[in-house]
Every structure is written in C-alpha cells, then in structure tokens.
Structure 1
Amino acid sequence: MNLSRRVGVLLSGCALALALAVGPGSGAAGESDHERARQALEAGKVLPLGAVLDIVEREFPGQVVKVEFEEEDDEFIYEIRVLQSGGGILKLEIDARDGTVISAKGRDIKFKSRD
C-alpha cells in the first residue's frame, strides 16, 4: 500500500472512529450507537474496518474518501466512498459481517446484490 493510500485509510479510519464516538448528535443516542458498534466488533459480528478496506482496495482501486458504519434491523453495513482515478466517486455498501459487496454505484458501474 503506498503512502498516500495509507494516509487516506488512516484519515478515513480516524473519521470513522470520530463518527462512532460522537454519533449523529451529542448525548445518549450517539453514545449508544458507538457502544453498539464496539460491542458488535468485540463479539465478532462485524469485520474490523482494516479488513473491509483491504477488500475494497483489491476490488475497487482508488482512494477511500469517506467511511460510515450503520446498523439497521440488526444488519451492520459499511458505507464507503472511493475516489477513482478518472475522478468519479464510487459509492459502496459492504456487509460488515463478511465483507460482501451489497451495492456499488458510480459513473460506470451499478450493482446491487439484494433489495
């Protein structure tokens, strides 16, 4: 992994950690979101961000510019945006449990594995 990629991943990881720590707002709701994410990781319900970024790097070359972690109905999803070499943004939804690509949307790609 080159230096600029490492810096981008580090910054994205820091942004994710900050987002998880702060949550969508201040107070108990944000703390609750962070706690659920931490517990899911510790319980082995989700892959660590680094493992997911390795999958993204192999399958979708480019610079990761944004990472979000979401939980809906006991499903955990990493939403990742990748800046591609041609300047387009690729929006990915990755199943946080196993790294499966749920959907990929971008200039030259539209893919959705489930509704």
Structure 2
Amino acid sequence: MAIALLSALMVFAAAARADDDRDHDVARRAVERGEIKSLAEILQAVRDKLPGEVTSVKLERERGRLVYEFRVVGARGRLLEVYVDAATGEIGRTREK
C-alpha cells in the first residue's frame, strides 16, 4: 500500500500547477527550518489512520499554521478531506466532500 500511495502522490506531483511549485518551496523551507514534518514523515505517522486511498495532498495555511490537506477516497467510495497539522502530525478534522 505504501508504494502505491507514494506512486500516486508522485503522479499528482508531476501534474502540479505553478501554485503547487510555490507550495513545494514553502514546504521545503519549512521542513529545513524544522517548523513542520516532511510529507514522508506525516504519511508514515498517519497512514493507518487515513480512512482510504490518498488521491492528492496540499499544504495550506490555516489560522497561521501549516496544515497538510489530504483528499482520500474512503472505503465506501466517498471523497474525504483530512487535515493534518504539519508541525505535529496530528489529524485535525475530516470532512466529506
């Protein structure tokens, strides 16, 4: 599952827009400064808690904090947004899309 997940993320990353490139730079610098965990660390920490197959990942700023937003197709085929605190790796909220 981890290899499939990473492969899917690589495909989505390859199709990213210019805004996503900027997000990548923001994320890279924040990881280098130790402000947030890398996507690989976050995935390792939460993969058993994510309720399905990850289809995309974004890094967003919410209330002054960086948050990874995962889009996940759940077991029943429903699309979910799962928000994970980028600094701590804690799952914040999950909502159906």
- For the criterion TM > 0.5, the same-fold answer is yes
Count of aligned pairs between the two proteins: 97
Q: 2:69 aligns with which of 72, 79, 91?
A: 79
Name the CA distance, whole Å, in 2 between partners of 1:18 and 1:75: 26
Normalising by structure 1, we get a TM-score of 0.67
| Deviating 4+ runs (over 3 angstroms) | 16-19
Name the CA distance, whole Å, in 2 between partners of 1:34 and 1:85: 29
1:61-105 CA-partner distances (Å, limit 9, x unpaired): 311011101235641110001112211122111110011112111
Give yes or no for the alignment of 1:101 onto 2:97: no
Contact between 1:9 and 1:64, CA under 8 Å: does it hold in 2?
no
2:53 maps to a residue whose letter is Q
SS in 2 for 1:23: helix
Gaps of 5+ in 1: 25-29, 108-115
Larger relative contact order (CA 8 Å, sep ≥ 6): 2
Q: 1:8 aligns with which of 5, 11, 36?
A: 5
Task: Give the alignment's Cα RMSD to 1 decimal.
Answer: 2.7
Gaps of 5+ in 2: none
Name the CA distance, whole Å, in 2 between partners of 1:104 and 1:73: 17
Normalising by structure 2, we get a TM-score of 0.76
Question: What residue in structure 1 maps to residue 33 of structure 2?
Answer: 43
1:39: Cα distance to partner?
Answer: 0.9
Share of identical aligned residues, percent? 28
